[in-house]
Each structure stands twice: as C-alpha cells, then as structure tokens.
Amino acid sequence: MSQTNGSAVRTEDVWKIYPQDPSPVEAVRGLTLDIASGDFVAMAGPSGSGKTTVLNLLGALTTPTRGRIWVSGEELTTLSAKQLARLRLEHIGFVFQAYNLLPVLTALENAEFTLLLRGVPAEERHRRVEALFEEIGLGDLGDRRPSKLSGGQQQRVAVARAVVGEPALVLADEPTANLDSASSDALLDVMERLNREHGTTFVFSTHDPRVMERARRLVRLVDGQIEADERRAPAQSVP
C-alpha cells in the first residue's frame, strides 16, 4: 500500500511496546491516523497517554513494534539509518520539551544549525535566523549561550531552529510549556503564519488550551489509542 495522496503523515495499525517486568508496556496501540499536508494538529491527553511516543514514531526517532508509517511519501520501515537521517534533516523540524540546545553555541548558532547541516551559506543563514528572532522577541539575544537564557527564551530558540528551514512537517512536544501567555501567542502566530504561507504541517503534543484552541484538528489520546478526533475552526488566526 502506498501513502495516500495529500498526506503528510499516515500510520497503519502502529504499535509501540516496551519490554518491562512483570509485563510489557503498550505505549501506542493500533494507531491508524492520516494527517493531511498543511494541517495544524494538536494531540492531547493525560500523562502516559502516548503523545510523546507518537511524535517520536512520526519523526523516525523510534521504530514501531509493528505497523507502518509514511512521512512525505516515504515508508519509514523501508529506509536505512542514513536515509532516515536525511529525511529528518530535510523534511522534519523538531521541538523537544528539553530544548536540546547545544551549550557551546550561541542562540543564533543553535537556531541556524539545521541550515548549516543543509549547506545553506552563512550570510543566508544569519539573515533568516535574525529575521525570525525579531518576530519572536529574541532580536537582541542572538549572541547569548543557552546558560544565559531563561527557560522560555531557550524554548523560543528551539522553535526557531525547528521552523527556520521551512520543513514540510514540524513535530512539537509541549512547545509552549515554559512560556507566558504573550510569548506563547507570539510563537503560535509564527507557526500559523508558516503553516498558512508555506503549507508546513504542524503536529503538537500539548496540555495547553491555547494550543488546542488554535488547532484545526484535535486528536485525543488515552492509553495509547485515539479516543476522539475532531476537526473544527480555530478560535484565533493570524491576520
């Protein structure tokens, strides 16, 4: 079976089972999901519901115990480690809860790291990152290292790194968790604009009502399974 046309991500009966005594943990159970290209999706659910595991599976950071996953038309289980690394670099942006910033690099250098790996010239990298930093309130912090930034500022750098390369898919694990309301709204504005103007697909895991309100599709997970999947008009939009 090939991936459905128009899908950014598709899963077919995906399971993720972790061996554990006295019994295995079924983190994801029979997940079948089709996310259209250009969608803006929030995955919600209580702690332990499988949200982060699903993002890791979609981002090819972990492999399913069984089942099939397609991203940008590629079936992940058929790709080599080198091919998966290339897919992640060129097509997927990640925002992790732990930021995963490199401590020896400045904020600007962290944000442009993916562009560096792609071979984008230095002048173009700087221009794109500096413009994005101005949009999300980091304009005067580009030369600071992560240890000199607050948690919220580090999260904004992580989001900038994920979106500056304009990937086809951005996977964001609780992207607003450490931000105040104004910073959260500013980040979501940037993400909505990129989604609208460039067709970037966003999939969030979140507990934040602000993210859920912005989403055009809300998928609720319980015990590794989809409990509800609703599509609705977002409460806010970027002018």
Reported confidence tier of residue 1, pLDDT bands at 50, 70, 90: very low
Q: Which residues contact 70 (CB under 8 A, 6 or more apart)?
A: 2, 3, 7, 9, 10, 11, 76
Summarize pLDDT for 40-73 with one digit per residue, the tens. Answer: 999 999 888 999 999 999 999 999 999 999 998 8
Whether pLDDT at 178 is above 80? no
Reported confidence tier of residue 175, pLDDT bands at 50, 70, 90: confident
Residue 112 and residue 97: Cα distance in Å, rounded?
19
Q: What is the pTM of this model?
A: 0.86
Output the average pLDDT for the chain: 89
Q: Read off the CATH number of the domain in which 128 is found.
A: 3.40.50.300
Residue 42's domain comprises 7-231
**Is the residue at 181 inside a domain?**
yes
**Is the residue at 237 inside a domain?**
no
Q: For residue 234, what pLDDT is reported?
A: 58
Whether pLDDT at 238 is above 60? no
**Is the residue at 48 inside a domain?**
yes
**Is the residue at 46 inside a domain?**
yes
Whether pLDDT at 239 is above 60? no
**Is the residue at 212 inside a domain?**
yes
Q: What is the tally of structural domains in the chain?
A: 1
**Is the residue at 2 inside a domain?**
no
Nearest by Cα to 95 from 147, 62, 64, 59: 59
Q: For residue 5, what pLDDT is reported?
A: 56
φ, ψ dihedrals at 24, nearest 5°: -60, 155
**Is the residue at 187 inside a domain?**
yes
Nearest by Cα to 160 from 149, 170, 147, 150: 170
**Is the residue at 117 inside a domain?**
yes
Q: Are β-strands 25-36 and 7-18 bridged in parallel, bridged antiparallel, or unpaired?
A: antiparallel
